[in-house]
Structure 1
Amino acid sequence: MQSQNSADLHADTPMPLRVDRAYDVALGLRSFELMLPDGAALPEFTPGAHIKVQTPNGLLRKYSLCNAPEERHRYVITVKREELSRGGSASMHDDLKVGDTLPTSLPDNAFPLVDNAKAYLFIAGGIGITPLLSMIRSFGDLAPAPWKLIYLSRFANTTAFLDELGQPGWKKNVKIHHSEGQPDQEFDLWPALEKPNTAHVYCCGPRPLMEAVRDMTGHWSPKNIHFESFDEGGKTLPDDKAFQVRLARSGQSFEVPVGMSILGAMRAHGCNTASSCESGTCGTCRTGLLEGEADHRDMVLMPEEMDRHIMVCVSRAKSAELVLDL
Structure 2
Amino acid sequence: MTIPPTHADTQMPLRVARACDVAKDIRSFELVQPDGSELPPFTPGSHVKVQAPNGSIRKYSLCNDPGERGRYVITVKRDISGQGGSLSMHEDLNEGDTLPTSLPSNAFPLVESAKSYLFIAGGIGITPILSMIRSFGELAAAPWKLIYLTRSPETTAFLDELGAPELKHRVRIHHSYGDPDRVFDLWPTLEKPNAAHVYCCGPRPLMEAVRDMTGHWSPASVHFESFNEGGGVRPDDQVFTVKLARSGGEFQVPVGKSILAALREHGYNAASSCESGTCGTCRTGLLCGEADHRDMVLMPEEMESQIMVCVSRARSPELVLDL
Question: Which stretch of the first structure deviates more once superposed, 128-137 or 182-191?
Answer: 182-191
Which residues of structure 1 form unaligned runs of 5+? none
Q: TM-score, normalised by structure 2?
A: 0.98
Distance (whole Å) between structure 1 residues aligned to residue 154 and residue 238 of structure 2: 39
State the match for 1:155 in structure 2. 152
> Which among 203, 207, 215 is matched to residue 204 of structure 2?
207
> Which among 302, 314, 323 is matched to residue 320 of structure 2?
323
Instruction: Report SS of the residue matched to 1:287.
Output: strand
State the match for 2:18 in structure 1. 21
1:307 paired to 2:304: yes
Distance (whole Å) between structure 1 residues aligned to residue 225 and residue 110 of structure 2: 12
1:231 paired to 2:228: yes
Is contact 2:3-2:53 (8 Å) kept?
A: no
State the match for 1:2 in structure 2. 2
Structure 1 runs of 4+ aligned residues shifted over 6 Å read none
Q: How does 1:277-288 map to 2 (within 5 A)?
A: 277-288=274-285
Question: 1:3 deviation in Å?
Answer: 5.2
Instruction: Report SS of the residue matched to 1:233.
Output: helix
Distance (whole Å) between structure 2 residues aligned to residue 263 and residue 84 of structure 1: 24
Distance (whole Å) between structure 2 residues aligned to residue 183 and residue 109 of structure 1: 34
Which residues of structure 2 form unaligned runs of 5+? none
Change (3 A) 1:294 1:126: same
* One-letter amino acid of the structure 2 residue matched with residue 139 of structure 1: F
Instruction: Report SS of the residue matched to 2:134.
Output: helix
Change (3 A) 1:183 1:221: closer
Distance (whole Å) between structure 1 residues aligned to residue 239 and residue 219 of structure 2: 32
Question: 1:281 deviation in Å?
Answer: 0.3
Q: How does 1:96-175 map to 2 (within 5 A)?
A: 96-175=93-172
1:268 paired to 2:265: yes
State the match for 2:246 in structure 1. 249
State the match for 1:217 in structure 2. 214
Q: How does 1:76-115 map to 2 (within 5 A)?
A: 76-115=73-112
Distance (whole Å) between structure 2 residues aligned to residue 235 and residue 50 of structure 1: 19
How many residue pairs get aligned? The number is: 323
Distance (whole Å) between structure 2 residues aligned to residue 127 and residue 281 of structure 1: 17
Distance (whole Å) between structure 1 residues aligned to residue 250 and residue 43 of structure 2: 39
Question: 1:168 deviation in Å?
Answer: 3.7
Distance (whole Å) between structure 2 residues aligned to residue 154 and residue 181 of structure 1: 6
Instruction: Report SS of the residue matched to 1:132.
Output: helix
Distance (whole Å) between structure 1 residues aligned to residue 143 and residue 187 of structure 2: 19
* One-letter amino acid of the structure 1 residue matched with residue 6 of structure 2: L
Is contact 2:16-2:32 (8 Å) kept?
A: yes
Change (3 A) 1:181 1:285: closer
Distance (whole Å) between structure 2 residues aligned to residue 87 and residue 14 of structure 1: 21
> Which among 32, 50, 72 is matched to residue 35 of structure 1?
32
Instruction: Report SS of the residue matched to 1:34.
Output: strand
Distance (whole Å) between structure 2 residues aligned to residue 84 and residue 50 of structure 1: 23
Change (3 A) 1:183 1:247: closer
Q: TM-score, normalised by structure 1?
A: 0.97
Distance (whole Å) between structure 2 residues aligned to residue 23 and residue 2 of structure 1: 22
> Which among 184, 189, 206 is matched to residue 187 of structure 1?
184
Instruction: Report SS of the residue matched to 1:223.
Output: helix
